[in-house]
Structure 1
Amino acid sequence: MKESILFEKSRNFAIEIIYLYKRLSEDKREYVLSKQVLRSGTSIGANISEARFAQSLNDFISKMSISLKEANETYYWIDLLMETGYIDDEAGEHLRIKCLELIRMLQASVKTSKGKL
């Protein structure tokens, strides 16, 4: 059940990231950083989706660990976009909070799963 909540949260986060990408590329004409945040931000949920159908516990841990890395990378890109003025503090902080929530959930999931090995 926890993974389905995580899946839904990551999917909703990916949708927000897609809208951010569209806004950055259309309104701000920013293509490099916006593409990076798009890739990492949507990869979180894609790997969680793969983990839901993992062939083994090790496979599950691997996919969730990749999601965790992608979430950390996404946080980095959001931070850079804020620092450079491409996104305002309010929008950036909203995304950072959502991203940190995913990071914490992924950390807990990976830790719990490793304890089962």
Structure 2
Amino acid sequence: MTTNELKNRTKKFSLLIIDLAEKIPNTIASRIIINQLVKSGTSVGANYRAVCRARSDREFVSKMNIVLEESDETLFWLEIISEKEWFEIKKLESLIKEANELTAIFVSSLKTVNNKINNSK
């Protein structure tokens, strides 16, 4: 997957998170969770763009770790929404799958660059 394809994929993910947030019932608890979900979900794409501007492998790793944290946090909030049954499970499944796939991509990228850094010592 190219950098531009992943930029587009993470932006699409952000938009899907926003779409989901706008459809969840409005309660005191859900407002808090939705706020956290939108923050972390949109941070995935925004921070991935920062990764693409990294000036070194070490900077790449530092920034990519932020992206990984945000994608994992987003997955956590999606699981909470699922378990609270605030949204249809069937409709959440594709978003949870995408969050898992993005997380796996970020982990793989981190492993590759960390190996490169460690082998150049």
2-side partners of 1:7 and 1:47: how far apart? 10
Match of 2:81 in 1: 81
Match of 2:14 in 1: 14
- Give the fraction of aligned pairs with identical amino acids, expressed as a percent: 31
Deviation at 1:55? Answer: 2.0
Larger radius of gyration: 2
1-side partners of 2:111 and 2:3: how far apart? 13
TM-score w.r.t. the length of structure 2 is 0.88
Match of 2:98 in 1: 98
Between the two proteins, the alignment pairs up a number of residues equal to 114
Query: What amino acid does structure 2 have at the position aligned with 1:101?
Result: E
Match of 1:47 in 2: 47
For 1:59-93, what per-residue CA distance to the aligned partner results, in whole angstroms no more than 9, with x for missing partners?
A: 11111111111111111100000110111111111
- Secondary structure at 1:19 match in 2: helix
For 1:34-80, what per-residue CA distance to the aligned partner results, in whole angstroms no more than 9, with x for missing partners?
A: 11110111111111100111122111111111111111111110000
